[in-house]
Every structure is written in C-alpha cells, then in structure tokens.
Structure 1
Amino acid sequence: MNLSAYQRHVIGFHGCDAKVASEVIEKGISLRPSEETFDWLGSGIYFWEHGPDRAFEWAKEKQSRGEIENPAVVGALIQLGICFDLLDTHYTRILGPAFKELETVMEETGGVIPENRGGDDLLRRERDCMVLNWTLERLKRNGQEFHTVRGMFPEGAKAFEGSGIRLKSHIQVAVREPSCIIGYFRPT
C-alpha cells in the first residue's frame, strides 16, 4: 500500500492580484510556483486548504507592502496525489535523519544551513525550505516523487490569554506537480 497516495481532493485558496486571478480563471493560465528561500513547504504553488478568508488576508498584506494592486483570491480543486504530508508522522520522522544527512553534506562542502527566523511563529522558514527541498529531491532521485506537500502552520497572536491556539493558524498545500490542480474557480 502506498501510504503517500492520497486519493482525495481538497479545496485550496490562493491570494493574489485581481489581474492574476482573472488570467487564471478566465484564460486558463496556471499559477506560477514559488521558489522563495523561505517557503516553509519548499517549492510549489501555495494554497490555504479550505481557507478563503486567510488567502484574502494574505493578498491584502501583499497589497499593503506594495507587491500587488488589487487583492483577490483564486480557488482550486486539488487532487493531493502522492503527498508528503507533515500532518502524518510517517513523513515528519523522515525529516530528522534527512536534516542530519544534509548537515553532513553542508559541512563537507563548506555550505551553510540557514536558520528559520521571523518572530514567535517563524514566518521566514529558510531552514525548513532547504531541508524539505533537499529531502524531496533526494527521494525523487531514489524513485519516489511527491506531487504535493501539506502542513499545518501555527501563526499569529494567541487567540486568548494562555492559549496554544493562534489566530492565523492554517493548513497549507504546496503543489509541486501542477497537473494535481484539477481546476480553478472564483470564490463567491
């Protein structure tokens, strides 16, 4: 049994500029994958799983930084396919040994593994990104290619005093194989 083959669909939401949303929904142009060094799930097209409000908040945050003009959201039906799911201990247990291997490689080559940074919720996940991209590439070379990466991200201020619940916590999906996106839609 292939534990990573998720025969299920999720609805994802992507915050972006209204022009991008129109091109994707009306013209069938695909969203571009992100290759930022701080992408916490590694390279891919990022979606908030069942989180349209959070996707719109993200787009508004990008607007406030001058990165987009008009915030919008694109919805997508996603088949998770072969998913490296960080909500499953089968996959999180892979990461510790993979990190140690990467650490050895970096020591031998004089490379540096970056730190995660960005406050209590570590918004800039450069270490996580490097480890996930390295791990997934190593697994791909060994014949196991992953289509999506899925994880829960605790983010934001505490919901109330003494709480472990964060106001912006969410599940994200990074789509590494665009054919897993069955279709796009405009949320209402």
Structure 2
Amino acid sequence: MPFSEYQRQVVAYHGCGRGVVAACLRGKALTPSTNDYDWLGTGIYFWEHGPARALDWARFMNRRKKVSKPAVVGAVIQLGHCFDLLDIRFTTLLREMFPVFQETMAAEGMGMPVNDASRKLHRLDCAFLNWAIPLAEKKQGIRFQTVRGVFVEGEPLYPSAQLFTESHIQIAVRDPSAIVGYFHPATVDSP
C-alpha cells in the first residue's frame, strides 16, 4: 500500500509556558515528547486548529505545577509524509500489525502496556505506534514526518450525545523540519 505525501500545511497550536513561546519566536525548536503514555508516540504535540484547547492544556499543566504562566505558540506545519489515523489506509494497516506486535512483545518476554483513558495515559497506543511506524517506514522506504489522529475526549455535550467537550485533532511532529515556522496567536489570551 503506497502512502502519498500530504502536500498541505495546517495551522496548529502547542500549549506551554510563556518562556517556551518566547524561545520559539526567537528560533528555538520545541523538544519532542518521549513520555511512554503519549497518544501518538514520540513527537512534538500540537492541536490542529485548536488554540483554546492548547491554552486549556497549558492551564491544566500549570495546575499540575509543570508549566508556569500558561500560554500558546502557534505553528504552521507541513504534514509531509503523514501517518494519518483519520485515513483508513493507516488504521487498516495498524489493525493488521497489532497481532504481530502482541507476538513480538510476548516473544521478548515483555508485558503488554495498558491504556488508562480516565487518566489520559495511553501507554499501549504509544508503544504500539512507536513500534509500528518504523516498520511501516522501512516497508515504504520513507520517513513519516507527522502523525495525526482524532481523539474523542471529555464529557458528552448532552444526554446520549456523541459530541464531546474536549474532542480534538492532534498532531505529533516526528521530524522538526515539518514545522515551517512559529507565531504568537493573537486570538488566544494567556491569563
């Protein structure tokens, strides 16, 4: 299954502290997250077209004492070779690869990581994508620059709703050269 390059740019937002925003605007790149619980594996995380959601995340991290002075930096991202989980080519591939992942983990004597959605800890998803994407890259002879996924999150908007308060599209940038540039979003006010 050949994967085409995404010839489009998206505007996305990263929740962080004001000092990080200032550093990005001076040309310093963001550092990729390597947490074992990140939804989309290793990468620099952004909310696609979601400045308010990025600020909400920065405020959440401030309450946890991990960010001071919550703020948002915007970025223009060239999706490039994108492992897009909103495209059935990729979700079909992952469904086919998962039994092999399970066998590999068992053969290596490793326990299967477990997701804990109530705490937003996605250890299984992270481990699986960090395992699967390099295999897909090798098979296709390309390097995926970005990973993109939709997450249904939060509370239902009303009884029996399938619309939720915190749903979003998230992008993990695996190749920092996919970030065309940073900007200070004028529409998001930091507290």
CA deviation map 1:80-119 (0-9, x unaligned): 0000100000000011221111111111110112111132
What is the percent sequence identity of the aligned residues?
A: 45
Contact 1:4 1:84 in 2 (8 A): no
What SS class does the counterpart of residue 34 from structure 2 fall into? coil
State the match for 1:81 in structure 2: 80
Equivalent pairs counted in the alignment come to 185
Farther off after superposition, 15-24 or 131-140? 131-140
Is 1:123 matched with 2:120? yes
Aligned-residue offset at 1:4: 3.3
State the match for 2:46 in structure 1: 47
State the match for 1:64 in structure 2: 63
Distance 1:3 1:104 in 2: 26
Is 1:148 matched with 2:146? yes
- Which of 169, 172, 184 does residue 170 from structure 2 map onto? 172
CA deviation map 1:34-53 (0-9, x unaligned): 01111111110000000000
State the match for 2:5 in structure 1: 5
Distance 1:76 1:4 in 2: 23
What SS class does the counterpart of residue 78 from structure 1 fall into? strand
What SS class does the counterpart of residue 161 from structure 2 fall into? coil
Distance 1:4 1:156 in 2: 33
Distance 2:3 2:174 in 1: 18
Question: What TM-score comes out, normalization by structure 1 length?
Answer: 0.95
How is 1:15-26 mapped onto 2 (pairs within 5 angstroms)?
A: 15-25=15-25
Distance 2:120 2:4 in 1: 27
Amino acid at match of 1:6: Y
Amino acid at match of 1:65: R
State the match for 1:163 in structure 2: 161
For structure 2, the 5+ residue unaligned runs are 187-191
Aligned-residue offset at 1:2: 5.4
State the match for 2:180 in structure 1: 182
Q: Calculate the aligned-residue CA RMSD, in Å.
A: 1.3
- Which of 129, 134, 159 does residue 132 from structure 1 map onto? 129
For structure 1, the 5+ residue unaligned runs are none
Farther off after superposition, 165-174 or 136-145? 136-145
Amino acid at match of 2:152: P
Contact 1:17 1:68 in 2 (8 A): yes
Contact 1:82 1:147 in 2 (8 A): yes
CA deviation map 1:11-38 (0-9, x unaligned): 010000100110111x200000001111
Dislocated runs of 4+, deviation >3 Å = 1-4
Question: What TM-score comes out, normalization by structure 2 length?
Answer: 0.93
What SS class does the counterpart of residue 48 from structure 1 fall into? strand
